[in-house]
Structure 1
């Protein structure tokens, strides 16, 4: 389980996760709406251009078709009727670029070309784009065309077939439009949408962070209330449990000679009282570690001495189970860190106690302590029943106990490894476990050599 600091970080990560979820959903929604709006505006713009070109092409077609009596030839009176119509052998475009006057077409944006059935241009209107001449097959098969000239300028073009009065094919009429102003308009729309979406997404992130905080507030309050209830309940239980222990001792001293059978009853009551007292003490200890303002009293701690004390303390219970307990230490090079000696001793004691509990008779428990350039490693190794993969992710949860058919039931509160994990977290360390069923386990705690806790 997480300590107080880690729980705060957990709530912050969850708040960021909710914020990113809200922002992502809204960002995708805004993006889809912006994309749909952009597509609609683009389609409407190009449809408007197509209608404009079609209307101009129809106007030119209606004005000249009845005059074109011979296929591929433009009569002289048509040039008089349409002064801006320029034969292909004359350079009219330079003149039109210099003179802006009212013509049949807007020469700044539109153009028209008369092409005979052999694909040769006979006359033009307006400033024609600088593109290769179309092939005859493209004229016969094309109606609408979108292309760019050599300068990268975009055009939309319509090709119509022209007939003589006696219904012969005279040639083709191409009417097109420069799309520069349309592209500028669409680019402005794109820029507006991009800026709008980015600004909206920023607002969404801010609002999402606020809403995520509101959503997490009841969970945070519930967690704090649960912590407070656990601490208060454990604290209130200490007094009646201590009183019960006094009653047990007085009863054993005063009434044992009157009723010898009371001895076994009092022993059972005392064992259960000790278990409950141990559970209460563990809960109070965990509650103290969970407090956000919890700061362990730092002092230079000699881990070498702590390991030696652990071996000495657990030698008797290990011997009672015929378990060999040993340590791998370099007594000439003592290892020190900044930490809380009581908490570090309790961490080691819980690891060693678990190793002895879950190691069958004839087994071995080894404690090693090594120091590298950057870290200090404490290992507790046993050849006991091991831990399954399913239990590896659960063993550090509070009140979780491993049940195995190969070992007798253990009188455990299920808080030992949770306390170990909390102490390691408070000291900025890292706790890992390797284990295989029926082969044993290795618990490794790593601390930074120059540990400084704020």
Structure 2
């Protein structure tokens, strides 16, 4: 129980540490990626702007007639190709020094009607509408039919007398930029995963360091509880002997001592019961004290429990019934004494917290995969806030509708420890004023006769 408790807490701390560091690493990686991406695209835009300004400065003063390209511009820029000629294949096959790097850049001259007049370099294979988004100083980012990305700038061209000649579109193939950014993404991802793995290991180690003082304190508290309970057994047994001797020797001399001796005996029994519960819990907490498991007939255990608590239930006018298939006995591997105590605590709680005239039902069923033991009552019920606490040691539910219960608050804690020791599952359903259902499921080593 102790190991499981601290292991869960250690995993929780590890998850917390790793989550915080993971979010921090993810945020840093995202910010770095955005910075690199923005700087890369800004660099491309600067290159395109510089190239567009260079072409614009070299040709604008010679474009006297809107939409017409003079022959001397073709002479000045031999790679400039009229639209009626197919120059794309030639550009793809020839690689020489030109005004435009035809491997990456292109330029397109478009008149005011949107018709392409000349091209320079290898322009993208996209619908005409994508290339002809005519607006001065417009930036476009698009993909061609093959999936290549492009960045494009549109500039307005004027004649010497300040008439609008048309538009110049200069763009760049972003294949190399995208490959570079993809490599950056991959490096960041691998780096985050590698660092995350290291952080997870470090978080597990740090969580262990953080839990060590708590574990030591818990062990010391357990040892103190076990030692104190063990030391109390002898004086309590001695006190019980003194009470019995006093009742036998002095009752005839002072009959009024009977009530005093009865009160002392009741309190002594309560303290002895508390000591026994503490010793039992301490034994369950010790990892070296494994219970001896053997085939146990749950059917017989439940029948014995119903018979034992029938008198208690009848005294409180509570109807106790069982739902068992007597023709089919259900067996599991477990410790019969602990299983009996588990059932006794659940039934005892159901009777205690059920008003006079109520009902307690006990059932034992089996399916293909598990065995289910259930205790149902129509008592006072448990609030949602109490459901989270009822399995804590020394926690007791107080009710104004019932007389005070002489309980140590260890019963359900013992039940939970026994269920955990048997690798079972304990669940509770309850509504205030309607009752409660405690269900224990055992899933391993099932045997049915």
- Shorter-chain-normalised TM-score: which range? 0.7 to 0.9
**Cα shift at 1:100:** 2.5
Secondary structure of the 1:124 match is: strand
TM-score by length of 1: 0.84
* Highest RCO, 1 vs 2 (Cα 8 Å, sep ≥ 6): 1
Residues 9-158 of structure 1 aligned to structure 2 (within 5 Å)? 9-133=4-128, 138-140=133-135, 143-158=138-153
Query: Could you tell which deviates more after superposition, 115-124 or 263-272?
Result: 115-124
Measure how far apart 1:277 and its partner are: 0.9
What is residue 249 of structure 1 aligned with on the other side?
244
- SS in structure 2 opposite 1:138? coil
- Provide the residue aligned with 1:409 in structure 2: 404
Match for 1:428 among 414, 423, 432?
423
In 1, distance between residues paired with 2:306 and 2:324?
11
TM (normalized to structure 2)? 0.85
What do residues 350-399 of structure 1 show as CA deviations (whole Å, max 9, x unaligned)?
3444444445556665655555555444455556x432334455443322
Structure 1 residues not aligned, in runs of 5+: none
2:381 matches 1:387: yes
Runs of 4+ in 1 over 6 A off after TM superposition: none
Give the gaps of 5 or more residues in structure 2: none
Deviation at 1:297, TM superposition (A): 2.1
Shift of 1:211: 1.8
Aligned counterparts of 1:287 and 1:126: Cα–Cα separation in 2: 85
User: Residue 304 of structure 1: CA displacement?
Assistant: 4.3
- CA distance, structure 1, for counterparts of residue 114 and residue 431 of structure 2: 84
SS of equivalent to 2:165: strand
1:91 & 1:371 partners in 2: Cα distance? Answer: 83
Question: What is the aligned partner in structure 2 of residue 208 from structure 1?
Answer: 203
Query: Which of these residues, 195, 219, 223, is aligned with residue 218 of structure 2?
Result: 223
Aligned residues: 446
Residues 276-295 of structure 1 show CA distances to partners (whole Å, capped at 9, x for unaligned) of 11110111011112222332
Counterparts of 1:71 and 1:326, CA distance in 2: 103
Residues 113 and 328 of structure 1: CA distance in aligned 2, closer, same or farther (over 3 Å): closer
Q: Which has the higher mean CA deviation after the structures are superposed, 229-238 or 90-99?
A: 90-99
1:193 corresponds, among 185, 188, 195, to: 188
Query: Could you say what the CA RMSD is over the residues aligned between the two structures, in angstroms?
Result: 3.3
Per the TM alignment, residue 154 of structure 1 is displaced from its structure 2 partner at its CA by 2.2
Shift of 1:243: 2.4
Q: CA deviation at 1:340?
A: 2.2
SS at 1:421 equivalent: helix
